[in-house]
Amino acid sequence: MTGYWAYPEGRLLLFAKAPVPGRVKSRLRPVWGARGACGVYQQLFRRTLETVLHSRTAPVEVWAAPSAAHPWLRTRSREAGVPLRVQPPGDLGERMAATLHACLTDSPYAVIVGADCAGLTAGHVREAFSSLAAGDDAVFCPAHDGGYVLVGLRRVESRLFRAVPWGTADVMQATRQRARRLGWRVTELSPARDVDRQADVRFLRRAGVLESPGVMPGGPRPPLQVE
């Protein structure tokens, strides 16, 4: 498969959560319910996995939390022919730092992509690897909500991930400032839409990215079911 990938020496890591109702997309639960929000997450995972595979940039791996034992994730990974691994413990920053540190021991660069980013394109992924291969220290794809949906590094510096206000609109700005203080050469890709709010779901439904019936706050729960 070496000739299939444009950057076979790299690593492309899909960061995922086990799709357990009530544990994923919690901000969507008031409208969609726990099972509906989980169904949205499963759609996003499938789409993002297809996107990273279609990019044909580097070998793809799924890294799951809190474990790699969930049967749905095991089935999807097996169908796609990609390895499924468990994320290290800790908060998001600690997990990303530890995963990247492990991968960069035998690869010159690695990219982490959030498994639930519907706005990420194969073009984003290709540009990320191109930037790293050209010598950039880091590459980010900012999210419209102030976070980021992709991070790629050539080396790991724990200060980049420590004490970041995860889940807030300040994540990308805080990370940008830290990378600047490190003196790193950084590329920022065009922003992509993350899915954390009902407005994001409505936008993606209109764009044909997500399948779901029309439902508004206070209305009936959508028949979007967990697979």
- Structural domains in the chain, CATH included, are 2-206 (3.90.550.10)
Mean pLDDT for the stretch of residues 208-218: 49
| Predicted confidence band of residue 2 (pLDDT cuts 50, 70, 90) | low
pLDDT higher than threshold 70 for residue 62? yes
pLDDT higher than threshold 90 for residue 1? no
* pLDDT computed for residue 146 by the predictor: 94
Average pLDDT along the chain: 89
Q: What is the pTM of this model?
A: 0.90
Q: pLDDT tens, 115-137?
A: 988 889 999 999 999 999 999 99
Six-digit token pair at 131? 């930037």
Mean pLDDT for the stretch of residues 18-35: 90
Considering only CA atoms, which of 223, 146, 227, 154 is closest in space to residue 184?
A: 154
| Predicted confidence band of residue 101 (pLDDT cuts 50, 70, 90) | very high
| Predicted confidence band of residue 170 (pLDDT cuts 50, 70, 90) | very high
Least confident window among 68-82, 119-133, 209-223 = 209-223
| Predicted confidence band of residue 60 (pLDDT cuts 50, 70, 90) | very high
pLDDT higher than threshold 90 for residue 141? yes
Q: In what order do the strands lie in the sheet with 138-142?
A: 84-86, 60-65, 11-17, 110-114, 148-153, 138-142, 186-188
Own/partner long-range contacts of 93-98 (Cβ < 8 Å, ≥24 apart)? 93/161, 93/162, 93/163, 93/164, 93/166, 94/161, 95/15, 95/65, 96/15, 96/151, 96/161, 97/156, 97/158, 97/160, 97/161, 97/162
Mean pLDDT for the stretch of residues 214-226: 39
| Predicted confidence band of residue 30 (pLDDT cuts 50, 70, 90) | confident
